Chain A
Amino acid sequence: MPPLLDIQNLTVTFDTDDGPVTAVNQLSLTLEQGQILGLVGESGCGKSVTAMSILRLLPQPSTRITSGKILFHGHDLLQLPTAELQDIRGSRISMIFQEPMTALSPLHRIGNQLVETLQIHRKMPRKQAWPTAAHWLKRVGLPDAEERMYAYPHQLSGGQRQRVMIAMAMMLDPAVLIADEPTTALDVTVQAQIFDLMHEMHKNNTGMLFITHDMGAIWQMCTHVAVMYATEIVETGTVQEIFSNPQHPYTRALLAAIPANTAPGNPLPAIPGAVPSPRNLPKGCHFSDRCPHAFDKCHAQHPDLYPTPCGQSRCFLSEEKT
């Protein structure tokens, strides 16, 4: 069976006042049926730009996708006529964001927004759509769901708005859910409830691309992981493998920096320096200037992705092992 979503060599460049900046570089990812693929990395590494590229939501005309394909059921989403893409958006591929306000209209009642979605994507008559929408709001645990159908988005809390977004995604039963830091702004107990709902969607056969900066959330949610650093993928693998046997020094450093992995009160193994800006990437390996294992070659040459026991790693140490 072909993968659900197959991103091949995606490169995204922004035209800015200071010239072009490449935010995502030659990125390839595959999401197979039944997977929850985590995309993890620190802020600015290109996670959101990757996610927004899939549904072509990046600002035009300042964005240029300079290379790559994004195949969904064999069709390249990047080449699809706008009308066909509109059809896929929402109904086959849904997306939820960190701040659900960006996706909800502030001027329309929650109920009307859900009903309209059902009318457009499921051709459901309004009379039937209203109770269906209310049913889904109840399903995602929104208190007083029937009443909340009449509420405007600003009358709900952040957690409640995210539930509305998930209800909207769940009721359309999409093939793919792209979730970009859906719980970053929420409290942990609310996050746990949202994760449960996402797991439920997964059981109903929705494949997921789950974006986060939190390794704990990856552990909890995902089957597979891709680690991103400074515009590119540096390591991929199964969750089991990446956490028990990380290959790339950046992955190892990210895991080591979590406070729970150091005895209380002791200095944390912090990564020296800062994440480089995509305008100013080091020559050679992007991580070379912060890497405790870097040798001459790392500073001079850019590493490819090399095979590891169950994935890939963009590190010359992994090249030596193969």
Chain B
Amino acid sequence: MNNALLTVQSLATYFPVKKGIFSRATHDIRAVDQVSFSIEPGEALGLVGESGCGKSPLARTILMLENATQGNMFFEDTDLLSASPAQLRRLRRNMQVVFQDPFASLNPGMTIMELITEGLIVHGLIQRSKRAEVAATLLQEVGLDPDMGNRFPHEFSGGQRQRICIARAISTRPKLLICDEAVSALDVSVQAQIMNLLMKLRQELNLAFLFISHDLGVVSHFCDRIAVMYLGKIVEIGSAHEIMHNPRHPYTKALLDAIPKVGSDKSERLRLPGEIPSAKNPPPGCPFHPRCRFAIDSCRTTPPTLQPCERNTKHQAACHRRDDTLQ
């Protein structure tokens, strides 16, 4: 028995690739490959990595929008992959999502009031007659004018629309909020406002987060722990402080080094050579070895698994040389 809110064990999501119209699938894209982690109630776990590394497929698998190929997922004690439709419906209100593009995720024909109370009606949590009242409270919670319920999404700016999406997501009082690049498209000044809103809601509602972003600066500000993904796998996971200040996987180091930070030394930066290989035929051994300056023979043959760094079980890296001081 553990008390984690979300537990993901050896999860894999493969997408079949078809060659030609009539042929059967020839091989799979391993979008999510043997991923394990858990999130405690109220905890924020950040998920970072570059485009195509599998962040969104992982989120979509957890949200049951993609089929898991293998593995297990538990929300509290419920097994998500064998739950009945009725169980899943009840779970949905505990696990909500905010996507990057609020333009795409808001039905343009619905009023703001309808949009943000839809979930409550579907789950039978409020009566229709209470809609306007509840909507006004929700709007206020996300820092919008409570009187805007009768207006339509197109009347709002990008930042305001993201607030509307957040109001909708928190309406059912979820325990877990999955944010997939939720602040990435926003300008810095608006991004800071939305981050502040999410931090406020996190405290007030004791929300747990799976916070996905390609921006390590944003993630390290918001999250307690960070997981780094590369080619469908988690290559490093640990406290935000450890990941930012004591990264052990060469890929994490390269990622940190590539961020243009104000005030950083402009000359001494390591460059990550080459490109991310295709997930269609990942390299043997460690998936990062073709780009790694520290690769040794075992890296080319034996895939590393997540192991504690410097005997700290809370900080793990999938690197044969994680404790190598030369690295």
Question: Do A and B bind?
Answer: yes
Is B108 part of the binding interface, using a Cβ–Cβ cutoff of 8 Å? no
Is A219 part of the binding interface, using a Cβ–Cβ cutoff of 8 Å? yes
Taken residue by residue from 216 to 241, chain A's Cβ proximity to chain B (1 for < 8 Å, 0 otherwise) reads as: 11011100000000000000000000
Q: A188-B255, A192-B258, A214-B260 are in contact. Are A270 and B192 (CB under 8 A)?
A: yes
Q: A270-B193, A271-B189 are in contact. Are A220 and B271 (CB under 8 A)?
A: no
Partner of A216, one of B51, B192, B254, B260: B260
Bound complex: CA of A217 vs CA of B258, how far in Å? 11
Q: A193-B271, A262-B221, A264-B240 are in contact. Are A255 and B262 (CB under 8 A)?
A: yes
Partner of A258, one of B188, B193, B199: B188
Indicate if the CB atoms of B199 and A253 lie closer than 8 Å. Answer: no
Indicate if the CB atoms of B50 and A254 lie closer than 8 Å. Answer: no
Residue of A nearest to B221 (CB): A259
Q: Which one of B66-74, B212-220, B293-301 is at the A interface?
A: B212-220
Taken residue by residue from 191 to 229, chain B's Cβ proximity to chain A (1 for < 8 Å, 0 otherwise) reads as: 111011001100000000000001001101110000000
Residue of B nearest to A216 (CB): B260
Q: A43-B187, A188-B258 are in contact. Are A265 and B263 (CB under 8 A)?
A: no
Is A19 part of the binding interface, using a Cβ–Cβ cutoff of 8 Å? no
Is A309 part of the binding interface, using a Cβ–Cβ cutoff of 8 Å? no
Partner of B50, one of A188, A216, A261, A270: A188
Q: Please name all residues of chain A whose beta carbon is closer than 8 Å to the beta carbon of B240 when the two chains form the complex.
A: 264
Q: Please name all residues of chain B whose beta carbon is closer than 8 Å to the beta carbon of A160 when the two chains form the complex.
A: 275
Cβ of A22 to closest chain B Cβ, rounded Å: 20
Range for the number of chain B residues in contact with chain A: 35 or more
Q: Please name all residues of chain A whose beta carbon is closer than 8 Å to the beta carbon of B193 when the two chains form the complex.
A: 270-271
Is B134 part of the binding interface, using a Cβ–Cβ cutoff of 8 Å? no
Bound complex: CA of A267 vs CA of B222, how far in Å? 10
Residue of B nearest to A160 (CB): B275
Is B274 part of the binding interface, using a Cβ–Cβ cutoff of 8 Å? yes
Interface of B is mostly: helix
Is A213 part of the binding interface, using a Cβ–Cβ cutoff of 8 Å? yes
Indicate if the CB atoms of A216 and B262 lie closer than 8 Å. Answer: yes
Q: Please name all residues of chain A whose beta carbon is closer than 8 Å to the beta carbon of B157 when the two chains form the complex.
A: 274
Q: Please name all residues of chain A whose beta carbon is closer than 8 Å to the beta carbon of B261 when the two chains form the complex.
A: 216, 219, 260
Is A268 part of the binding interface, using a Cβ–Cβ cutoff of 8 Å? yes
Taken residue by residue from 250 to 264, chain B's Cβ proximity to chain A (1 for < 8 Å, 0 otherwise) reads as: 000011011111111
Known contacts A216-B260, A274-B159, A275-B187; 15 additional CB pairs below 8 A are: A42-B188, A143-B275, A157-B275, A188-B259, A189-B255, A213-B187, A213-B188, A214-B260, A219-B264, A254-B188, A258-B262, A259-B218, A271-B192, A271-B193, A274-B157
Please report B residues at the A interface, Cβ cutoff 8 Å: 50-51, 157, 159-160, 187-193, 195-196, 199-200, 214, 217-218, 220-222, 240-241, 254-255, 257-264, 266, 269, 271-272, 274-275
Between A and B, 6 residue pairs with Cβ closer than 8 Å are: A189-B258, A192-B260, A258-B217, A259-B192, A264-B221, A274-B160
